[in-house]
Amino acid sequence: MSSSDREKKTGTVYVPSEIAQNLKAADEDATFKYDESARNIVAQKSVLAYILKSALDEYAEYTVQEIAERFIEGEPELRKTAVHQDHPDKEGDTSMMSGDDKIEGEPTADKSQKDGTVYFDIRFTAVLPSDGELIEILLNLEIQNNDTPGYPIPKRGIYYTARMISSQRGTIFKDQEYGKIKRCVSIWVCEDTANFRSDTINRYSFTEECLRGSFNEEKKDYDLMTVVVMRLGRKGENSEDNAIRLLSKMFSTNLSYEDKLDALQNEFKISVSREMSEEVQSMCNLSMGVLNKGISVGEMKKAKETAYELRDMGLSDEQIARAVKVSMDTLQEWFAERGEMLVK
C-alpha cells in the first residue's frame, strides 16, 4: 500500500523523514537554548545568593547582598566539569545587587547529550561564615524540569556530592590528608512538580548518633555532604520563601518579560544588566515556541488524547503527567477543556 493509499484509508499525513528530523532538531535546539538561558539567569551571583540563603542555615543571618558580594568566590563553571571521573572536563545603586556579576563557563549541554557525558549544571565555590572563620565549600546546582525523572533526586544528589568529594583527592588533599576535605553541597531546583510537593525545600545531610557514652566529634569533621531539593510548582510564585518565589517567577510562562524585569528590580532588588535582560527575553520568547520543552504541536495533541484516555482508565493525575511527559499545569488546562479538574 502506497503512502497516499494509507493517507486515504487512515487520514494520517505522512511527513517525510527529513522534514520530521528537521522539526525534531528544531525542537531540541529550542529546548537547549531555553535551558541555557535558564542556567545563565540562575548563574547570576545575586540569584545564587537567594538560593544559598534559603538552602543553608549558615547564610540565614546575612542579607542576600552580603552573600553575593562576600561569600560567592572563585571561578564558577556552567556545564564544564564532568560528574564522572572517567569522562573529560571542558576546558549601580548601592541598594541593588549587580546583575553583571555572573558565573562564567562553557555551556556544553548539546555535546554532553550527544556523547553521553553528564556535567554539573552550575558549579561554584563559596565561603561559609562559621565562628568568624571563612571555610571553603563546593556547591553544584542542577536545574531539573521534573522532580520525578524515574529515580529519586536525593540519591542522585548524594552521588554527585560523593563525586565532588572524591575529585578533591590529588588537588585539595593528598595521601592521608583527609582533614583537608571540603564540604560539598548539591542543590536541585525542580521547576515542575505535583501540587502537594510544590513550594517545598528538603535538605539531607550527615548526622552523628552517639550509641554509647557522651563523646561527640565536631560537626565540621563529618557533615561533608549536603543535598537540597527545592520544588517550585504552581504555588511557587506566591511562596513566602524568597528563593522559590524568585525562581518561580523567572521560570513562569504566565508572566511577561516586563513583569519579570519588574520583579527582579523592584521585588528582589537586583540591578538587571543588559545580558541578564536578554536572557529573560530569550526565555520568554522560547517558552512561547517550545511546548513543555521540546514537545511538538502534533505530539502535544497526541499526548492530550492519551491523557484523556488514562484519566478515563482511573490513573492518578501524577501518573498521567509522567506518562505523557507534561507539567501538572498543562494537564490542568487539558482537563479544564473537558470541564474537569485535577484530582488533588
* Residue ending a domain, choose from 291, 320, 335: 291
Q: Is the pLDDT of residue 3 over 50?
A: no
Percent of the chain with pLDDT over 70: 71
Residue 53 exposure: Cα atoms within 13 Å on the Cβ side: 20
Distance CA 91, CA 106 (A): 8
Distance CA 29, CA 194 (A): 27
Residue 182 and residue 258 in one domain? yes
Q: Is the pLDDT of residue 151 over 90?
A: no
Q: Is the pLDDT of residue 172 over 50?
A: yes
Q: Is the pLDDT of residue 292 over 60?
A: no
Our CA angle for 276, 277, 278, nearest 5°, is 90
Confidence at 177, pLDDT banded by 50, 70, 90: very high
Predicted confidence (pLDDT) per residue in 305-321, tens digit: 888 888 888 888 888 88
C-alpha cell at position 181: 576535605
- Residue 84: predicted pLDDT: 47
Domain presence at residue 9: no
Pairing of strands 183-192, 225-231: parallel
Residue 189 and residue 57 in one domain? yes
Domain presence at residue 161: yes
- Residue 299: predicted pLDDT: 65
Distance of CA 309 to the CA centre of its chain: 31
Residue 136 and residue 267 in one domain? yes
Residue 327 and residue 341 in one domain? yes
One-letter amino acid of 123: R
- Residue 113: predicted pLDDT: 37
Q: Is 71 in contact with 48 (CB distance < 8 Å)?
A: no
Residue 222 and residue 329 in one domain? no
Q: Please tell me whether residue 200 adopts helix, strand or coil conformation.
A: strand
Domain presence at residue 1: no
Q: Please tell me whether residue 62 adopts helix, strand or coil conformation.
A: coil
Predicted confidence (pLDDT) per residue in 71-127, tens digit: 987 555 655 555 544 444 444 555 666 666 655 543 333 333 333 455 668 888 898
Domain presence at residue 11: no
Confidence at 12, pLDDT banded by 50, 70, 90: very low
Residue 132 CA: distances (Å) to CA of 93, 194, 318: 28, 41, 46
Q: DSSP E strands: which ranges in 147-246?
A: 183-192, 200-205, 225-231
* Residue ending a domain, choose from 291, 315, 332: 291
Predicted confidence (pLDDT) per residue in 247-290, tens digit: 999 988 788 889 999 999 999 999 998 989 998 988 887 765 54
Tell me the average pLDDT across 45-66.
Answer: 94
- Residue 111: predicted pLDDT: 35
Residue 65 and residue 32 in one domain? yes
Residue 266 and residue 118 in one domain? yes
Residue 310 and residue 177 in one domain? no
Our CA angle for 100, 104, 109, nearest 5°, is 125
* Residue ending a domain, choose from 291, 308, 325: 291
Distance of CA 119 to the CA centre of its chain: 13
Domain presence at residue 232: yes
Residue 161 exposure: Cα atoms within 13 Å on the Cβ side: 24
Q: Is 227 in contact with 183 (CB distance < 8 Å)?
A: no
Domain presence at residue 14: no
Most confident range (mean pLDDT) of 29-38, 142-151, 218-227, 323-332 is: 218-227
Residue 48 and residue 184 in one domain? yes
**Mean confidence (pLDDT) of the chain:** 78
Count of structural domains, the chain: 2
Alpha helices of 43-128 — where are they, by DSSP H?
A: 45-55, 64-66, 109-115
- Residue 339: predicted pLDDT: 79
- Residue 124: predicted pLDDT: 87
Name which residue leads in pLDDT, 150 or 49. Answer: 49
Pairing of strands 133-146, 122-130: antiparallel
Predicted confidence (pLDDT) per residue in 25-41, tens digit: 555 666 777 778 888 88
Tell me the average pLDDT across 290-314.
Answer: 69
Distance CA 32, CA 107 (A): 10
Confidence at 47, pLDDT banded by 50, 70, 90: very high
- Return the closest-CA partner of residue 277 out of 287, 265, 288: 265
- Residue 14: predicted pLDDT: 41
Domain holding 320, by residue range, is 295-344
C-alpha cell at position 240: 513566602
Residue 252 exposure: Cα atoms within 13 Å on the Cβ side: 21
- Residue 100: predicted pLDDT: 60
Domain presence at residue 176: yes
Domain presence at residue 130: yes
One-letter amino acid of 311: R
Q: What is the DSSP string of 285-322?
A: HHHHHSBTTTB-HHHHHHHHHHHHHHHHTT--HHHHHH
Percent of the chain with pLDDT over 90: 33
Alpha helices of 167-272 — where are they, by DSSP H?
A: 242-251, 257-262
- Residue 114: predicted pLDDT: 37
Distance CA 249, CA 236 (A): 8
Residue 304 and residue 195 in one domain? no
Residue 231 and residue 134 in one domain? yes
Residue 32 and residue 145 in one domain? yes
Phi, psi of 79 (to 5 degrees): 45, 50
Distance of CA 299 to the CA centre of its chain: 24
